[in-house]
């Protein structure tokens, strides 16, 4: 008995436009070999293609085209008499072609459209030829083509946050580039800045968050583009501040401990006492710190299981150094007791 298998080659452009249900529908046929799936996307496939489908595929990353490719394509179009502009008597200055290629970036279609526009709108010379100069090229393509898909926006936001940790110039550049060139919402970067002020600066300079939140308020009240001064000031203040990730480390350690802790019993002396009968339940013994020298007294604040646990360790960075010294004094006082 001879069995025949029908294999369908399914080529999908812009596969990121397929929703989850459509991609799931393809999966059984791909697994059985009924369909040979070939997909293309300009987005990050790890963001838009189902993990199950992606794991059964071979991923090829195609690098973007650059100005040199646009320049080569335009020269081919100028020489091609059948499908290009070769039938026209065109004389293009090298600087004109270079300008179009540079402004178009890797967008070949945009470069060819600009070249065609220059060819058909430029008045002919007395001998019937058309001379495309740099000035003509500048009129044919004015604004640089900028890639602004979702993946690019994620990458730019990531570059901004990482730059806040180390470069004023880069942080300011990525912020302005994203808003002015890519058209991204300034609030996206203001929110990220506020997070960075705790995640990467923290108590080393608490004023960084004050600056960031004030910039957000200014943005809401003033609007763009005037608020770019306020936001940029907050960005520069954050980048130039001493850095500490002690807050982030403390959160991470506390969250990790909580995962395996289960229920946490509140010590009796920390429980609510604003009702009659609390003393009968043993809710007493709390020491009011302001009644003691230095407004501090050693007592248990964490649950019994975590009584000796430490989450937050201040660094020597900026104002946090004073907190670190205070922590050391409290540890020594605890040791004496």
pLDDT band at 299 (very low <50, low <70, confident <90, very high): confident
Residues 42 and 106 in one domain: no
In a domain, 101, yes or no: yes
Q: How many CA atoms lie within 13 A of 40 on its CB side?
A: 6
Residues 275 and 225 in one domain: no
In a domain, 60, yes or no: no
Helix 186-196 vs helix 207-222: angle between axes, to the nearest 10 degrees?
160
In a domain, 246, yes or no: no
Q: Which residues contact 303 (CB under 8 A, 6 or more apart)?
A: 261, 264, 265, 266, 267
Residues 165 and 232 in one domain: yes
Domain range holding 119?
Answer: 67-140
pLDDT band at 219 (very low <50, low <70, confident <90, very high): very high
In a domain, 326, yes or no: yes
What is the per-residue pLDDT across 83-139, written as a single tens digit (0 to 9) for each?
Answer: 888 888 888 999 999 999 988 877 889 899 999 999 888 888 888 888 999 999 888
Residues 135 and 154 in one domain: no
In a domain, 325, yes or no: yes
CATH of the domain at 91: 1.10.8.60
Residues 113 and 76 in one domain: yes
The tokens describing 278, both together, are: 């609390």
Q: Which of 118, 140, 162 is the last residue of a domain?
A: 140
Q: Average of pLDDT values for 249-278?
A: 87
Residues 234 and 166 in one domain: yes
What is the per-residue pLDDT across 165-194, written as a single tens digit (0 to 9) for each?
Answer: 999 999 999 999 999 888 889 999 999 999
In a domain, 249, yes or no: no
Q: Which of 202, 221, 239 is the last residue of a domain?
A: 239
Q: How many domains does the chain have?
A: 4
Residues 157 and 235 in one domain: yes
In a domain, 244, yes or no: no
In a domain, 108, yes or no: yes
d(CA 333, CA 324): 14
pTM above 0.75, yes or no: no
């Amino acid at each position: 008995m001879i069995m025949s298998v029908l294999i369908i080659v399914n080529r999908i452009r812009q596969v990121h436009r397929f929703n989850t249900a459509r991609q799931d529908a393809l999966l059984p046929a791909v697994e059985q070999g009924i369909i040979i799936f070939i997909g293309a996307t300009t987005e990050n496939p790890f963001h838009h293609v189902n993990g199950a489908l992606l794991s059964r595929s071979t991923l090829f990353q195609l690098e973007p085209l650059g100005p040199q490719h646009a320049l080569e394509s335009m020269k081919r179009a100028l020489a091609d008499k059948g499908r290009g502009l070769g039938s026209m008597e065109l004389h293009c200055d090298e600087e004109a072609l270079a300008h179009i290629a540079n402004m178009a970036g890797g967008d070949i279609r945009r470069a060819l459209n600009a070249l065609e526009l220059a060819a058909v709108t430029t008045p002919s010379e007395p001998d019937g030829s058309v001379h495309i100069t740099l000035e003509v090229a500048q009129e044919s393509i004015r604004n640089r083509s900028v890639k602004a898909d979702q993946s690019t926006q994620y990458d730019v936001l990531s570059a901004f946050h990482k730059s806040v940790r180390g470069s004023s110039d880069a942080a300011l550049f990525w912020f302005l580039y994203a808003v002015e060139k890519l058209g991204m919402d300034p609030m996206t970067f203001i929110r990220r800045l506020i997070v960075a002020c705790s995640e990467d600066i923290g108590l080393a300079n608490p004023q960084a968050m004050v600056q960031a939140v004030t910039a957000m308020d200014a943005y809401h009240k003033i609007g763009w583009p005037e608020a770019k001064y306020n936001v940029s000031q907050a960005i520069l203040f954050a980048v130039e501040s001493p850095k500490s990730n002690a807050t982030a480390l403390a959160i991470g350690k506390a969250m990790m401990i909580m995962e395996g802790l289960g229920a946490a019993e509140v010590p009796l002396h920390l429980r609510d006492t604003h009702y009659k009968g609390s003393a009968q339940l043993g809710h007493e013994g709390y020491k009011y710190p302001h009644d003691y020298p230095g407004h501090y007294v050693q007592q248990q604040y964490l649950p019994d299981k975590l009584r000796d646990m430490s989450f937050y360790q201040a660094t020597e960075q900026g104002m946090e150094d004073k907190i670190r010294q205070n922590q050391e004094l409290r540890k020594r006082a605890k040791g004496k007791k």
